[in-house]
Chains A and B, each alone.
Chain A
Amino acid sequence: MGIKLERVNFMIVDDNPPIRSMVRQVLRTMGVALVREASDGSDALIQMRSEVPDILVTDWVMSPMDGIELTRYIRKSENSPNHFMPIIMMTGFGERRRVFEARDAGVNEFLVKPLSAAALFSRINAVIERPRQFVRVGEFFGPDRRRRKDEWSGDERRGKPPPPGQAKQPPSPSPMSQSEINQVFNP
């Protein structure tokens, strides 16, 4: 028994046509019937005026509107088509600072290229089967990084420095693995 995705409406946002084509074909193989494509964030927002996707899969580096700007718009703009839209960022960036920047923009899941079908399906499955609450705190609005309501630590934001004596290890400049990234987004 597997999940059937034919009624789920996807939008792929990437300025690279070959990547869009690849993701489209992978989604079609998974049974997805409706896949639309946009070449950057502004193109995506224009298309969303006519139909709002159930799941957005977006690249980071695009022009004129990149994937982070698109995510911030969807989360915060009063003109957003859906503030809670599930957003999967699919990018070549795997460095820690990039991963956290995406998380703080309000991305639900983060997928490092090169693309594999298994990794993409895993992230799609996560937003369907294990959706998180949203949280509004300070400047942040987006998916909560904790699964359970009773785990709130009182910290105002994720980037709050640890208390003296409890300093975390300095961030590594090397890229994070997909499993490490999944832990950041799904603690």
Chain B
Amino acid sequence: MANVPEMIDVPNALKSKVSYGPDGVDAATIERAEQIIAGMQDQYLVWVQEDLRKIQAGYDKVRAMPVEDRKDSIRYVFDVAHDMKGQGGSFGFPLMTNVANNLCRFIETRPQFGNAEMDAIRVHIDVLRLIMAEGITGDGGPRGEKLMRGLELVVEKFAK
């Protein structure tokens, strides 16, 4: 028997908590908030070094394991990469987001992590480190495009 949807009107308690006025959120407020995000870039440069250290340490640990034990442990590398993906673009380093995204997708889709897969992960980590070492902001222009294409070629080998 098909389920009959039960529709529920929810009292909008939030609406009663807000008001409207000239000192409310407007375009200038949003712009100030965007500037605050941009202004945190200096802090990001410190945080990302810690993330790079964590992802390398996580990688080294997994690499030292027997192949059959790597699948579960690679999750830590994924989680750090996922954090880096979320942060990079917010702080002016969208290429970090793109590379970390590529790495996350690769880890998600591999059934196992032999040495070839681990080499591919290492290349991604090396590129993340390179971007920060050279301070490649924005999408990196032609250099960024070349780096991304190189990583895509690395991943494509595993799709065959």
Contacts and interface: CB of A to CB of B under 8 A. Distances in A.
Nearest to B23: A4
A163 B6 CA distance: 24
Chain B: interface secondary structure? helix
Interface of B: 2-10, 12-15, 17-26, 29-30, 32-34, 36-37, 40, 43-44, 47, 79, 82-83, 85-91, 94, 97, 100-101, 104
Contacts of B86: 16, 19, 59, 91-92, 113-115
Contacts of A133: 7-10
B37 A116 contact: yes
A48 interface: no
Interface of A: 1-5, 7-8, 15-16, 18-19, 21-22, 25-26, 29-31, 54-55, 59, 61, 63, 84, 86, 91-92, 113-118, 121, 127-129, 131, 133-138, 144, 149, 152, 156, 175
B8 A61 contact: no
Contacts of A113: 85-87, 89-90
Contact of A54 (B14, B19, B32, B87): B14
A169 B155 CA distance: 25
Given A118-B30, A133-B9, A134-B8, A3 B14 contact: no
Given A19-B86, A92-B85, A138-B3, A128 B8 contact: no
B33 A30 contact: yes
